[in-house]
Amino acid sequence: PDFLLIALRAAYAPCVAAHKQALTALAPVELWRKAYCPVCGSDPDVSVLENHPDPSDFLVSKSGEVWHHCPICTHRWRFVRVVCPGCGNQDHKQLTRFSLSDNAHEQIYTCEKCRQYLPCLNLVERTEAVDYDLIALGLIHLDAAAQAKGYVPLSPAPWVALGLAEDQAETS
């Protein structure tokens, strides 16, 4: 099933990309509060913690705002920190995160209610430029760790659908 979803995404992604500017105007980022992409409706493949100069209701602490990234149209949008993007769960006792010991800025956000996960990269203290389209691929080791713990990806990536993240877990 994940492979079929990825094939369909690959087929319609160029159409969405061609009309991204017009679609973005229909759903202003400032007003969007949903877990799925306001441009194409896809689930995020990764989230990023960032600092932005403007205060907002999305930022409750100095540890950054959560920005989701769409794997189809590459759009980015803010999201509330303490909500599972998969099921909407707001019980902070069921929302966890973990990181591998060597990279504390690379994390996995998990939900015990729906057993889904979303990789997250903390860029709050970093200043170098980042290619947001490549972050998910750079966090493949987190996919492997989350799947080894029994979690399911919120948005299946090609390497997840093809079992490459599982192969990475076996070699680690």
SS3 of residue 159 by DSSP = helix
Q: Which pLDDT score, from 0 to 100, does residue 1 have?
A: 54
Does residue 130 form part of some domain? yes
Domain count across the chain: 1
Structural tokens at position 95: 């929302």
Phi then psi dihedrals of residue 90, to 5 deg: -115, 5
Q: Which domain holds residue 14?
A: 2-54+64-171
Does residue 162 form part of some domain? yes
pTM here? 0.80
Q: In sequence order, which residues have a C-beta less than 8 Å from that of residue 170 and are 6 or more positions away? A: none
Does residue 145 form part of some domain? yes
For the stretch 91-124, pLDDT in tens is 999 999 999 877 889 999 999 999 999 999 999 8
Give the C-alpha distances (Å, rounded to integers) separating 72 from 17, 19, 36, 120.
8, 12, 11, 18
Structural tokens at position 165: 């993240």
pLDDT at 169 over 90: no
116 strand-pairing partners: 152
pLDDT at 166 over 70: no
Q: CATH number of the domain at 134, please.
A: 3.90.1670.10
Strand locations in 60-115 (E): 65-69, 76-79, 95-99, 106-111
Does residue 59 form part of some domain? no
